[in-house]
Structure 1
C-alpha cells in the first residue's frame, strides 16, 4: 500500500468510527443518551432519528471506495456539511469539548477528501496510460 492509501484509510476509518459506529451504538444501546444530547441543542425529537440515520448512512457510504466520483463528492459534501453544522451548534451552546471534536473530525474529513482526490487522480492517470498503450498496439 502506498503512503496516500494508508493516510486515506486511517483518516476515513476514524471518521467512520466516530460518525458511523458511535451513533449506531448509541441508537441501539443507549437511545436515552441521544435524546439528552438532542435536547441540549433545543432540537425536536422528530429531528433525531433522520439525523442519526443519515449520519450513519453517510459514514458507511464513505467507506465504500468504488462509488462513481460524483456520488463520492456528494458523500464527502454531506459528511463535511454535517460536521460543520454540528460544530457550529456546539459552539453556539458553549460546549468547547464538542466544538474541538468537531473541528478535529472536520480536519480529518478534509485530509481524507484530499487524499481521496490524490488516489482517484493517480488511478485515472494509470487508466489513461493503459488506454494509450492499448491503442498504440
Structure 2
C-alpha cells in the first residue's frame, strides 16, 4: 500500500507541476501565446485550456473530490495529451515535440492505475 501511494503521489505531482503550475505561471508569456497561435488555435483557446488544466490538477490532488469527478479529470488530461501530440505532428511533423505529450500520457496512466489500486485497497479495508 505504501509503495502504491508513493508511486501515485510522485506521478500525480509531476502532472500537477506540468499541467497546473507551469501553465499558470507561463501561459501569458509571449512564447506561450505564439505556440498556441503557431498550432493554429486562437488565443482564447489557450486561456480556456489553462483554466481547465488548473481545475483538473486541483481535482486530482484534493483527496475529498468524488471518484467520478476525478475520472473526468483523468479523461480530460488524456484527451489533452493525445490532441497535443496530434497537433504537433500535423504542424511540425514527426519529432520530439510530437512525442513529448505522450510521455506525460504514460505518467498520467501510471497515476490513474495507482489511484485505482489505492481506492480498491480502501474498499477492501472497509
TM-score (norm 2): 0.92
How far residue 73 of structure 1 moved from its aligned partner, in angstroms, is 0.8
How well do the aligned residues superpose, as a CA RMSD in angstroms?
1.4
Which runs of at least 4 in structure 1 moved beyond 6 Å after TM superposition? none
Pick the structure with greater CA Rg.
Answer: 1
Normalising by structure 1, we get a TM-score of 0.85
Separation in structure 2 between the aligned mates of residue 95 and residue 66 of structure 1, nearest angstrom: 41
Unpaired runs of at least 5, structure 1: 128-137
1:53-109, Cα deviation, whole Å (9 max, x unpaired): 111221222111221111111111111111111111112122622222201100000
Q: Is the 8 A contact 1:87 1:102 kept in 2?
A: yes
Structure 2 residues without counterparts, runs of 5 or longer: none
Q: How many residues align?
A: 125
Partner of 1:107: 106
- CA distance, structure 2, for counterparts of residue 114 and residue 56 of structure 1: 21
Matches within 5 A, 1:31-110: 31-93=29-91, 94=93, 96-110=95-109
Structure 2 Cα separation of the partners of residues 66 and 76 of structure 1: 16
